[in-house]
Amino acid sequence: MPEKRLIFCFCRFLQAARYFYSILFTPVCSVFLEASPFLVFVRKNQFHAFRNRPFHTDVRVIVRKTALIVRMVEVRYLVAELCLLRQHDKSVRKILRHEKLLLAFIAKVGFPILIRPSYVLSGAAMNVCHSKEQMIEFLNLAAKVSKEYPVVVSEFLQGAKEIEFDAVAMNGEVVEYAISEHIEFAGVHSGDATLVFPAQKIYFETARRIKKVSKMIAKELNISGPFNIQFLAKNNDVKVIECNLRASRSFPFVSKVLKRNFIETATRIMLDAPYTKPDKSAFDIDWIGVKASQFSFARLHKADPVLGVDMSSTGEVGCIGDDFNEALLSAMIAVGNRIPQKNVLVSSGAAKSKAELLEPCHMLAVKGYNIYGTAGTAKFLNENGISATAVCWPDEQGDLNIMDMFSKHVFELVVNIPKDHSKRELTNGYKIRRAAIDHNIPLITNARLASAFISAFCNMDEKDIQIKSWQEYK
């Protein structure tokens, strides 16, 4: 087989003959023998990671990203070992071969734990476990999905921010980058999370450490082209979640906001073509972008519309605004949410989320909204000087039965934060969430996103959102 270069890029490229094949060994070799000096794979997300393993011995150059390098980042524990070797620790995680070792690990770190198979798309078979029963169930599922490669069990850090580092590198040197943050704490898949760029609420030291670790990884893997690293950050302690040797879903978003075409730079680098390195002032912008996710739970009969570490969204919308409130409102409205006019239902879950939603509920009260709450939430709000009307749980009888009120379309926004994993809580919470979806009522199941959304529409009227073209942001 002649020595040629395979270019993995996330763009439409060849204007001449295009080949549309499943990325399997035999058809790729057929294309490879016929193709022009450059063969381009137009791919989605991590699909190449499944299929490039057989090519390692047959293709000599893969744009400085050999199959072994891709394997290093896709097999969970290998990139963990790289970070440990360079003293950039990941969260506590183990490759455990026996049940006794697993139980000993859990006794040390405690629940919840995170189970992560290798070579998966969109967090498939990835789960957070809160009990031994869940652990056994999800381990069996993960083992079926990732038979050849290890399933990694790690400590699940609660209350940590998730931060994205999108970049383009040349021979291991970072050429340009973007740091964005999720509104939701870690535990929501990056494809479902609400993304803010530039990051608004991270410490300067956190950003400095993220850049340092990212440059180290790019250098160690000798990356030429696009890559994405996801981080956890808590109290300036930075941990790597994963590294993706590809253009991530946030690439086009940060490119639009920053007005720098990252994928063009990456493609030029992979073609050894001339490219321009950005001036540092290019990263100093006076506007903000927010990416919100679009869900199709209404079409998924009986599905529980709660978000987790596996991806549920079917689309996303990115919006730009002069400030955070404007950008967030634009994005939330664009994915189908409506700003309530009168009645809001709040079921605020555990004590921590109750406290987090206290100030947003105060804003609602000041703006004249009628607040309804499940028993615990209404009691908490009334005790803290916020008037709230208690409603009955779905399995309770009373004048204000929550399911009857859904049928009458009393509520215009539902905030339901899952509390715990008891059977009654799961059943009632599911019925509330499902009723909101079935009656086409905007639903938010994350306390941080609910807080941000409520704060935005309480501080800014919808009519004040500016209609501006992309070119006007300068």
pLDDT tens digits, residue range 10-22? 233 333 333 343 4
Specify the pLDDT at position 349. Answer: 87
Q: How far apart are CA 174 and CA 218, in angstroms?
A: 7
Specify the pLDDT at position 84. Answer: 47
User: Which has the minimum average pLDDT: 141-145, 162-166, 406-410, 417-421?
Assistant: 141-145
User: Which has the minimum average pLDDT: 67-81, 220-234, 364-378?
Assistant: 67-81
Q: Give yes or no for residue 353 having a pLDDT over 60.
A: yes
Of residues 447 and 249, the one with the higher pLDDT is 447
Q: Give yes or no for residue 422 having a pLDDT over 70.
A: no
Q: Give yes or no for residue 341 having a pLDDT over 60.
A: yes
Task: Tell me the pLDDT tens digit for each residue of 78-123.
Answer: 555 555 445 445 444 455 555 677 777 778 878 887 777 765 554 4
Cite the beta strand spans of 43-172 per DSSP E.
93-94, 113-116, 127-129, 152-155, 161-170
Specify the pLDDT at position 85. Answer: 45
User: What's the pLDDT band for 311 if we cut at 50, 70, 90?
Assistant: confident
Specify the pLDDT at position 46. Answer: 39
pTM: 0.79
Residues in Cβ contact with 470 at an 8 Å cutoff, skipping those fewer than 6 apart: 256, 320
Task: Tell me the pLDDT tens digit for each residue of 57-86.
Answer: 333 333 334 444 444 444 444 555 555 445
Tokens standing for residue 342: 């009168």
Q: Give yes or no for residue 386 having a pLDDT over 70.
A: yes
Residues in Cβ contact with 398 at an 8 Å cutoff, skipping those fewer than 6 apart: 391, 392
Task: Tell me the pLDDT tens digit for each residue of 119-138.
Answer: 555 445 567 777 777 777 77
- For residue 344, the surrounding DSSP H or E stretch is strand 343-347
Specify the pLDDT at position 249. Answer: 86
Of residues 103 and 282, the one with the higher pLDDT is 103
Q: DSSP class of residue 15?
A: S
Task: Tell me the pLDDT tens digit for each residue of 168-181.
Answer: 999 999 999 999 99
Mean pLDDT for the chain?
Answer: 79
User: Which has the minimum average pLDDT: 56-70, 378-392, 413-427?
Assistant: 56-70
Specify the pLDDT at position 97. Answer: 52
Residues in Cβ contact with 471 at an 8 Å cutoff, skipping those fewer than 6 apart: none
Give me the residues paired with residue 292 across strands: 317
Specify the pLDDT at position 240. Answer: 84
User: What's the pLDDT band for 379 if we cut at 50, 70, 90?
Assistant: very high
Ordered DSSP codes for 185-205: ETTS-TTTSPEEES--S--HH
